[in-house]
Chain A
Amino acid sequence: MKIKIDVNNTEHELAVEANTLLVTVLREHLQLTGAHVGCDTSQCGACTVHLDGRAVKSCAVLALQVADSKVVTIEGIGEVDNLHPMQSAFREYHALQCGFCTPGMIMQAIDLVTHEENLDREKIRQGLEGNLCRCTGYHNIVSAIESVVDKA
């Protein structure tokens, strides 16, 4: 089936199978490999992107479901020379080690600071339940997100 899909404010026209996942379209059709496939069972959150402004796991969404929606990936939030404040905070607080979970963490973190009120460390930790990190122990990730909350 042919679909039009808006990714990072660019409209693409693609032919996809009904059983093609959003993450597959992003990574294999559009070469946007920032959304990672960590588990492929909707547990790890490494594939998190924004769908109409909210964090979703792109491995649990069909490409055809997003035909009328706006998708934003980690590639769409900042430039190398002009990082998104959340990206800067992750760098400043050393909130990553291997970096595999980082794109999903950042997209989730932006959803949290945009939609949750009175975020404290406990609420940030709860908000990250859908994102698994196997190296950092989360401590610096929480600190990075907290610093963005404090600056807002």
Chain B
Amino acid sequence: MYSFDYHKPAVLDQALDLFKSADDPIFLAGGMTLIPTMKQRLAAPTDVIDLSGLDELRGIALSDRVLSIGALTTHNEVASHPLVAQHLPVLAQLAATIGDNQVRNRGTIGGSIANSDPAADYPAALIGLGGVVVTQSRSIAGDDFFLDLFETALHPCELITRIDFPLPDRAAYAKFRNQASGYAVVGALVADFQGKIRVGITGAGPCACRAIGIENELMQNLSIDVLDHVEVPDAGFNSDIHASAEYRAHLVKVLTKRALKQVLDQNS
């Protein structure tokens, strides 16, 4: 790891000021991607701004059928929090499949979403549930948030403070898990908001996206069989040692079916 200056601000404004005054700064949340990346010298920031002292980025709250999750909430906190279990169980189940236990004890929802790893799980939830990313200065619709591989709509000095998830009537997440890393080769989150179906896909392309074609088919006929006739083109999909683009396109369909089966098994 190259050398850098470490800062641990106590309030949000101080974190932003530190960021603005540094040459090549980076925010540190749980560090489960950032620190290994810095160890491999794939990232070499001049200043690391540790957010862990910012209590305003913590906490889980429910109001008006929206569940708000602070950016610094760890995956294991989401997986075990009673409000999540009661009102948005799909998110608790998803969080419990991320990485391994040690990673879930440190990694945060804000860090995962800000990183836009193409194989991360939370992006499927942000898209599939129609969530909203709240920063210090604005709200960004989940649909507009992920731009490309590790690229988001966040400005350089913009910090996620919380994620707001509207509560669906029913929802489920199905994932084809890479056995070594725990990352999603492909993951599909299917949610039903009073007949309006949303499908969020991660792992297939350079960043998480909606499966609009599948959503439209399902809104006309909410059944598993209808997916047999849907074509999922693999253009632009990832192709690597874990899976070809063609196989990922196949998985999109299979995992959407699996998630949909769980959705249909739930009482709306």
Residue ranges of A at the interface with B (Cβ–Cβ < 8 Å): 1, 17-19, 21, 40-43, 45, 48, 51, 54-57, 59-62, 64-65, 67, 108, 111-112, 115, 127, 129-131
Contact = CB atoms under 8 A, between A and B. Distances in A.
Nearest to B100: A130
A64 B38 CA distance: 15
Interface stretch (B3-11, B119-127, B184-192, B248-256): B3-11
B241 to A, nearest CB: 16
B182 A41 contact: no
B105 A56 contact: yes
Contacts of A61: 31, 35, 106
Contact of B36 (A17, A48, A60): A60
B76 interface: yes
Query: Chain A binding site: helix, strand, loop or mixed by DSSP?
Result: mixed
Contacts of A57: 102-103
B103 A62 contact: no
A130 B102 CA distance: 7
A18 B101 contact: no
Given A18-B5, A21-B35, 19 more contacts: A18-B3, A19-B3, A19-B4, A41-B36, A42-B32, A48-B102, A51-B106, A56-B102, A56-B106, A59-B39, A60-B31, A60-B35, A61-B31, A61-B35, A61-B106, A62-B31, A62-B48, A115-B80, A127-B101
Contact of B35 (A54, A55, A62, A111): A62
B105 A55 contact: yes
Given A55-B102, A127-B101, A19 B31 contact: no
Query: Chain B binding site: helix, strand, loop or mixed by DSSP?
Result: mixed
Contact of A65 (B3, B31, B32, B38): B31
Contacts of A18: 3-6, 48
Interface in B175-212: 180, 182
9 contacts: A18-B3, A19-B1, A19-B4, A19-B38, A51-B105, A57-B102, A59-B39, A60-B106, A131-B100
Nearest to B32: A60
Contacts of A60: 31-32, 35-36, 102, 106
A55 B28 CA distance: 19
A138 B28 CA distance: 34
Given A54-B76, A130-B100, A62 B105 contact: no
Contacts of B4: 18-19
A55 B101 contact: yes
Contacts of B28: 65
A41 B6 contact: no
Contacts of A51: 105-106
